[in-house]
Amino acid sequence: MAGLSDVVQKAFYLGVGIASFAGEKAGENLVKLRSQAQKLADEMVERGELTTEEAKKLVDDMVRRAQGPGGAIVDIEATEATDTPRNIEITDDEPSSSVDSKAEALRKQVADLEEQLRQLKKQ
């Protein structure tokens, strides 16, 4: 019986070792994810695409999603693909006459650029 208890003990230690190793790897991956997310958020703040508060929320959300249910690391892109679509509301902050005039100015600018392109192609 001493041989059987020895095998059980070694199997137990092997399981504990594997669990410990997996925990360390998951922790390392989580640290890498946080640093990459922070770097991305910092770049977006520099470009003015996010405020610092939004960047902090973004990083925290990415890390929280990476931890997934039960603390297991999951694929963020796969999680996003299964989420329900978000509704986007378009509000009209400017009077329609202002929008129409801006649209007309942009149409004229595009037409001018197309004409310039045609002239350059002829040369």
Q: What is the pLDDT of residue 45?
A: 86
Can you read off the two tokens belonging to residue 14? 């092997």
Q: What is the pLDDT of residue 105?
A: 87
List, in sequence order, the alpha helices (H) in 1-123.
2-46, 52-67, 76-82, 96-122
Closest CA to 34 of 63, 69, 76, 57: 63
Residue 18 structural domain: 2-83
User: How many domains are contained in the chain?
Assistant: 1
- Whether residue 107 is contained in a domain is answered as no
More confident position, 88 or 75: 88
- Determine the Cα–Cα distance for residues 75 and 59; give it in Å rounded to an integer: 15
- Whether residue 98 is contained in a domain is answered as no
Average pLDDT of the segment spanning 11-17: 87
- Whether residue 11 is contained in a domain is answered as yes
Q: What is the pLDDT of residue 76?
A: 47
Q: Residue 95 — pLDDT band, cuts 50, 70, 90? A: low
pLDDT single digits (tens) 61-86: 888 887 776 544 444 445 455 557 77
Can you read off the two tokens belonging to residue 78? 């796969």
- Whether residue 29 is contained in a domain is answered as yes
Helix (H/G/I), strand (E/B), else coil: 50: coil
- Whether residue 48 is contained in a domain is answered as yes
Can you read off the two tokens belonging to residue 115? 């004409």
Residues 92, 94, 100, 103: what is their CA dihedral angle, to the nearest 10 degrees?
-90
- Whether residue 109 is contained in a domain is answered as no
- Determine the Cα–Cα distance for residues 89 and 83; give it in Å rounded to an integer: 18
Does the pLDDT value for residue 16 go beyond 70? yes
For the full predicted model, state whether its pTM sits above 0.85: no
Average pLDDT of the segment spanning 33-51: 85
Residues 5, 6, 11, 14: what is their CA dihedral angle, to the nearest 10 degrees?
140
Average pLDDT of the segment spanning 5-24: 86
Q: Could you tell me if 38 and 63 are in contact, meaning their C-beta atoms sit under 8 angstroms apart?
A: no
- Whether residue 47 is contained in a domain is answered as yes
